[in-house]
Amino acid sequence: MSFVLGIVICAAALAVISIGGGNPSRLLDYHALLLVAGGMAGLAFIICPLKEVARNLKTAASAMRKSENNQKLFERIMELVQTARREGVLALDGREDDEKNPILKKGLSLIAGSADRETIESILQKDAQNMAEREKTAQEFIERVAIMLPGIGVLGTLVEIVQMLYTYKGPQTLAPGIARSLLPVVYGGAIAYLVLMPLASRVKSGSDRQKQQRELAIQGVLAIQAGEPPHIAGERLSIFAESTDVHRH
């Protein structure tokens, strides 16, 4: 929601400048917009195969999605720790079916399968690493498109200038023609720096947040498997969560 709000505020700021400079409709040119949008799609497919483009977009959307509150995850893990300590890990059989956190879900499944601590930790750490690498790849993909997109705008401007000079009809058409030819640069820069780069930053922030939750889930699974006392597990697990979100048990 805040990302959309930021885009609206930036658009409003640009609109104020445009209105102050005259007729804002002069900044609207669907030919230039189609050129930049098509160039952006073309760059995406040049950088990555079609399947990877779709995967990167899906991963980026997942990273930016509002994640579970750390406090709720912590409390749920602590409830599992207490149950395992009181009744044994066999009492958790089937609990993975109701779990939405992928790391915690897999961890409970491995515990139910009687996997040892080293195997559980290795598998979960590898899963977490793979998820983080996919998120980093998605972030870098968006950044590469953003870096290259203004170049598409420059090329569009050069093409517009060439076309304008071929159809030059006198000094009275020169200034409007130059102004219109600069619109691809405006669109390319606006999309790159007001949409794509902030988007990549949001992906990184979301990825960092989810890395923290994955580590919390991994340590929680290991605490459950080891049958740690709840007060010790609570002290240790709270290190992996934001201090403002987690109250130590």
Mean pLDDT within 147-171:
88
Give dist(CA 236, CA 155) in Å, integer.
Answer: 56
The per-residue pLDDT for range 85-121, each reduced to its tens digit, is 888 888 888 888 888 899 999 999 999 888 999 999 9
Average pLDDT, the chain: 86
Give me the pLDDT at residue 80, please.
92
Comparing C-alpha atoms, which of 101, 113, 143 is closest to residue 225?
113
Model confidence at 243, pLDDT cuts 50, 70, 90, reads very low
Give me the pLDDT at residue 247, please.
42
Vertex 46: Cα angle to 40 and 52 (nearest 5): 95
Give me the pLDDT at residue 246, please.
43
Model confidence at 244, pLDDT cuts 50, 70, 90, reads very low
Q: What are the φ/ψ torsions at residue 49 (nearest 5 degrees)?
A: -60, 160
- Residue 202 pLDDT more than 70? yes
Mean pLDDT within 69-80:
89
Give dist(CA 137, CA 177) in Å, integer.
Answer: 41
The per-residue pLDDT for range 11-50, each reduced to its tens digit, is 665 565 555 555 666 678 888 899 999 999 999 999 999 9
Region of poorest pLDDT, from 61-70, 73-82, 207-216: 61-70
Q: What are the φ/ψ torsions at residue 111 (nearest 5 degrees)?
A: -65, -40
Give dist(CA 107, CA 224) in Å, integer.
Answer: 9
Give me the pLDDT at residue 249, please.
42
CA 25 to chain centre: 33
